[in-house]
Amino acid sequence: MVLAYLLDPIASRIERLEVNRLVATLVIIVVVITAIALLIALIAPIIISELAYFIESFPNTLDGYNP
């Protein structure tokens, strides 16, 4: 509901260009989904490499805390 409220002005501006509201909404949805997918595609490799480094170095970290 909040997303619809936030994206309504964009849909209204697209609608001023003589574009149907349904088409404007579909364009906004496609752009948002593409942006989210691109963001995930850019961030996922970084997260995976950092997680692999963490898993690899975690035993060494625990060895430093043995009494």
- Per residue in 5-54, pLDDT tens? 888 999 999 999 999 999 999 999 999 999 999 999 999 999 999 999 99
Closest C-alpha to 28, from 11, 6, 42, 41? 11
Answering whether pTM is above 0.85, one says no
Which pLDDT value is given to residue 7?
Answer: 86
pLDDT confidence tier of residue 65, bands split at 50, 70 and 90? confident
pLDDT at 66 over 70: no
Torsion of CA 7, 11, 16, 17, to 10 degrees: 120
Closest C-alpha to 13, from 27, 2, 32, 1? 27
